[in-house]
Amino acid sequence: MNKLHNRLLRSALLAIAGLAPAAAFAGSGTNNLAVSATVSSSCSITSTTALAFGTATASTLPLDGQGALSFTCTNTTPWMVFGDVGQNASGSQRRMVNAGQYLAYNIYSDSARSTVFPVALGSLGSGNTGGTGTGLSQTVTVYGRIPAGTALPAPGTYTDTIVLTLNW
């Protein structure tokens, strides 16, 4: 009986609450809020992936590797990537170094390794290392090669650093 009494009491309270008048408002008003933003032509480098050749032996040459530069440019912004010759170059020949000995290599802008990666700014938006921004992440791949016939120096780990520049 007690359970029935509680249910009836709850039902009655809910019914009474439903009959209560809603709060009265004195009035209301509206107005517009202007919203704006200016998007400027820009690019931002987000990451690089190292160009790693792995282990070079007389039987592995030519030895290929690849690295990458990832970035984001605003939509329709023309861009171009180029790279310097590295810290250990002899003239235009890129070289890695270890304890005063050098290992020659080259970088290319195509997977066939037939077009040398540019070392100076060319026309924005053109070539294998140029394009137009999409507003989303984009990537330029750097294709490397230690050529066949390269004289291999003493065993060790050889390194170099190339500065890649993204212009827009």
Model confidence pLDDT, tens digit, residues 99-147: 999 999 999 999 999 999 999 999 999 999 999 999 999 999 999 999 9
Q: What's the whole-number mean pLDDT along residues 47-54?
A: 98
pLDDT band at 21 (very low <50, low <70, confident <90, very high): low
Q: Report helix, strand or coil for 102.
A: strand
Is residue 12 pLDDT above 70, yes or no? no
Residue 64: the pLDDT is 98
Q: Report helix, strand or coil for 23.
A: coil
Residue 25: the pLDDT is 84
Residue 24: the pLDDT is 77
Whole-number Cα distances in Å, 115 to 25, 119, 128, 161:
75, 12, 9, 20
pLDDT band at 153 (very low <50, low <70, confident <90, very high): very high
Q: What's the whole-number mean pLDDT along residues 2-29?
A: 66
CATH code for the structural domain at 43-167: 2.60.40.1090
Residue 143: the pLDDT is 98
Residue 10: the pLDDT is 67
pTM of the model: 0.80
Q: What percent of the chain has pLDDT over 70?
A: 86
Q: Considering only residues 11 and 129, tell me which one the structure prediction assigns the higher pLDDT.
A: 129
Q: In b/e form, how buried is each residue of 108-139, taking b as 16+ CB within 10 angstroms?
A: bbeeebeeebbbeeeeeeebbbbbebeeeebe
